[in-house]
Chains A and B, each alone.
Chain A
């Protein structure tokens, strides 16, 4: 297969020393194996995520994503925009689609962008990395690169919200998307297909502002993974990963549980299966260590 190139929007959490820095590490390793070149959008900014709405009105928020699209069009013309963060993808895709549909909005947005000498056409597709894997490679092709199948590991595919709704991955259902299960299977591990909380919200950004309420949701997500017999949880979303991994001690203290469930990214699994070492796979970024993956990576 020829090298594939994409206009890449990493997002704030993927930066060095940020909460999903390990995601980026494993994405790099995975892309190296798949011969994917990610061309970072120069000087990209935050997408305003799903929580920007209090301070930022509709147009300012759209304008922020539009700035990224404009910069992408300049630097990486003809390439699809790819994001690894669910919220980044959602906000950027929504902006692209709405600008495309609504001429008035397009005009206003460009009026705003002109303040920095920019202009947007919004003609690049905005895709999540998972879409690239499934649609541009396919499970069969992804499977061919597996060097160390993740045999014997039971993994709950926690899809969460924003890669699933409102856009979702083409061909998947909102209520029971299967793509993570299929990816897990492709990597030689065993998916927990009956995982009950696969599309349950983790509280998202409200894990900061409404901790107790969010912890209750997170508890359910982890509990269901244990109930299904999972060794670990896999997710495509940085906020899901952080929320589900980071608060386990708090939840244990509050609910008298003994959770110690590793939460990894699909790209972590793939990097390990593709023969990368623990560091390349971002395993040292795990706060709850994924020991089974470390063992395979250490072989």
Chain B
């Protein structure tokens, strides 16, 4: 269990709703859900969620901290924003899902083998490093994220796609050795570091 997690459990005791309100992006909206279920019915990955948004909101209110934070559900969000535009209460559901996923990850509670989590991390690392996406490295990274054997299998499967893209000048193998970056890498990284710092300070400071 991460230190932050223990700290947060200590701080909010059994009031998970309060914890979410304080620490999760757009979390203050969770209490406003009226349980109509339109979000769940609108989600393209709906059938694949263990707990669709409506249920996650109810679980938060019911104090099911462990179950929510270790859930794979919010990692199923494709960011299609369908729930947001349909929610009759105007809840920014997509953002709350991202926020919950991030918070779970930050506390070290996200399911270890969640593929989208791993991909999202690779993506973030990739852009923090160069400032721009290195599509080849990202793709290869994703294919190998489940281990070498799995990676080779996926790579072979994706070979035709890659070849097609290469032929269409939409994939550059040279990217592996560098590729697109921003010029002011250090400046950009400094910005991200600073932003992180501000956020960390806030979560610790907040008195529930």
A285 touching B170, Cβ below 8 Å? yes
A210 touching B45, Cβ below 8 Å? yes
Q: How many residues belonging to A are interface residues under a CB distance threshold of 8 Å? A: 68
Q: Which of B160-208 contact A (CB under 8 A)?
A: 160-161, 164-165, 167-172, 174-175, 180, 182-184, 187-188, 190-196, 198-199
Min Cβ gap B111→A in Å is: 12
Does B28 sit at the interface, judged by CB under 8 A? no
Out of B124, B172, B195, which one reaches A63, CB within 8 Å?
A: B195
Does B31 sit at the interface, judged by CB under 8 A? no
Does A143 sit at the interface, judged by CB under 8 A? no
B101 touching A208, Cβ below 8 Å? no
The segment from A158-166, A185-193, A223-231 that touches chain B is A158-166
Task: List residues of chain B with CB within 8 A of the CB of A12.
Answer: 132-133, 135, 180
A17 touching B199, Cβ below 8 Å? no
Known contacts A18-B180, A64-B192; is-contact A59 B199 (Cβ 8 Å): yes
Name the CB-closest residue of B to A45.
B131
Does A206 sit at the interface, judged by CB under 8 A? yes
Min Cβ gap A106→B in Å is: 13
Out of B120, B142, B182, which one reaches A53, CB within 8 Å?
A: B120
A161 touching B191, Cβ below 8 Å? no
A210 touching B115, Cβ below 8 Å? yes
Out of A19, A55, A284, A285, which one reaches B124, CB within 8 Å?
A: A55
Does A135 sit at the interface, judged by CB under 8 A? no
Task: List residues of chain B with CB within 8 A of the CB of A162.
Answer: 79-81
A246 touching B80, Cβ below 8 Å? no
Min Cβ gap A73→B in Å is: 15
A60 touching B196, Cβ below 8 Å? yes
Q: How many residues belonging to B are interface residues under a CB distance threshold of 8 Å? A: 67
Q: Which of A7-51 contact B (CB under 8 A)?
A: 12-13, 15-22, 43-46, 48-51
Complex: A191 Cα to B79 Cα, angstroms: 27
Complex: A51 Cα to B119 Cα, angstroms: 8
Does B109 sit at the interface, judged by CB under 8 A? no
Min Cβ gap A42→B in Å is: 8
Complex: A62 Cα to B82 Cα, angstroms: 22
B123 touching A45, Cβ below 8 Å? no
- Tally the A-B contacts, defined by beta carbons under 8 Å: 218
Q: Which of A130-185 contact B (CB under 8 A)?
A: 161-162, 165-166, 168, 174
Does A108 sit at the interface, judged by CB under 8 A? yes
Min Cβ gap B8→A in Å is: 15
The segment from A75-83, A197-205, A263-271 that touches chain B is A197-205
Complex: A182 Cα to B139 Cα, angstroms: 36
Complex: A249 Cα to B164 Cα, angstroms: 11
Complex: A287 Cα to B157 Cα, angstroms: 17
Q: Which of B20-77 contact A (CB under 8 A)?
A: 25, 44-45, 48, 76
Task: List residues of chain A with CB within 8 A of the CB of B133.
Answer: 12-13, 18, 46, 49
A209 touching B119, Cβ below 8 Å? yes
A-B contacts, 29 of them at CB < 8 A, read A17-B174, A18-B133, A45-B127, A48-B124, A51-B116, A54-B102, A54-B116, A54-B124, A55-B128, A57-B102, A60-B195, A60-B196, A112-B192, A115-B193, A117-B187, A118-B187, A165-B81, A165-B82, A165-B85, A166-B81, A199-B82, A204-B79, A205-B119, A206-B76, A210-B115, A246-B161, A284-B168, A285-B169, A287-B165
